[in-house]
Structure 1
Amino acid sequence: MNRRTAFAGTLVLTAGLALSACSSDSAPHLEVTGAFMPQPVSDMAAGFLLVKNSGDSTDRLTSVTSPLSDHVSIHETKGQKMRMVSSFEVPAGGELDLERGGNHIMFTDLKQRPERGDTVSVELHFEKADPIKVDIPVKETTYNPKKS
């Protein structure tokens, strides 16, 4: 009877480890780099950053929150037209690039206007991954980083 109990315990432990290994391997692994905000010239601002996903599972950026504004949204730009969207895909093994002239974070009705050298705190919310807090540096109004 002890052998059966020991075997059953080993089987349960092995199955549990296998399941946890599968779930952690298939999870998105997100990292944020290159964040910046051009110094706003009105009560609106835009934020830009890169979300890299080194995991084996696609995720989605679903919202952004910030103490800078109660009205933060994510916008898609296509053919010189901008529109609010409900989410952006962060592909497995890929990236979501929010860049000038393209998709971006939009802050409206700013509570204060940040100056060059300040940082703006945001929290990125995803469908699967835990939220990521990012301090976005405020750059000069015309700042546009070079792409490699």
Structure 2
Amino acid sequence: MKRLAGRRGPGRPHAFAAAAVAGTLALAGCGGPDSDGEADLSVGSAYMPQPVSDMAAGFLVISNGGGGADRLTSVSSDAADRVSVHETVDGTMREVDALDIPAHGSLVLESGGNHLMFEQLTRRPKQGQKVSVELRFAHSDPVTVEIPVKPATYIPKHGH
């Protein structure tokens, strides 16, 4: 569905036309750009510290500008036999089946917090290279992200 809120077409505003549009939107359950209950996902701030073993971590931010929540359910990469999603609570890391992405919010995967775990690397990526990952969600289409490999000691300047 295309978002129509905020667009203004040519022509004169007529009370009848405005009422017809309002009625159509009400019948369609569509009151504005974010009330359709769909997630609108984008990914940024992605990086992987250069791995020093056969495992690596991945960090990124999934932002949701839409009115519906979603969940990150799985991740895959040709750089590892297995990529798992990990949650960190009170300093304890554990693998989880999914992580929530709230409507009008974001899921932050960061060092010391929730993150991706690349296990049994098929190759050990070097600084300056990129690792391709496919993020899969409960409701949204999969998203492929090219994650740049940074120095092992890299710390983002602006945080996540």
Corresponding residue SS for 2:80: coil
> 1:64-75 alignment to 2 at 5 Å?
64-75=75-86
Q: Does 1:82 align with 2:93?
A: yes
Structure 1 residues not aligned, in runs of 5+: 1-13
Note the 1:13-92 alignment, pairs <5 A.
Answer: 18=28, 25-92=36-103
After TM superposition, the runs of 4+ consecutive aligned structure 1 residues lying more than 6 A away are 20-24
TM-score by length of 2: 0.78
Q: Partners of 1:19 and 1:124 in 2: how far apart?
A: 30
More helix by share: 1
CA shift for structure 1 position 78: 1.7
The root-mean-square deviation of aligned C-alpha atoms, in Å, is 2.0
The code of the aligned residue for 1:47 comes to G
SS of the residue 1:57 aligns to: coil
> Which 5+ residue runs of structure 2 have no aligned equivalent?
1-23
Number of residue-to-residue matches in the alignment: 134
Distance (whole Å) between structure 1 residues aligned to residue 99 and residue 120 of structure 2: 23
Higher relative contact order (CA 8 A, sep 6+): 1
Q: State the TM-score, normalized to the length of structure 1.
A: 0.84
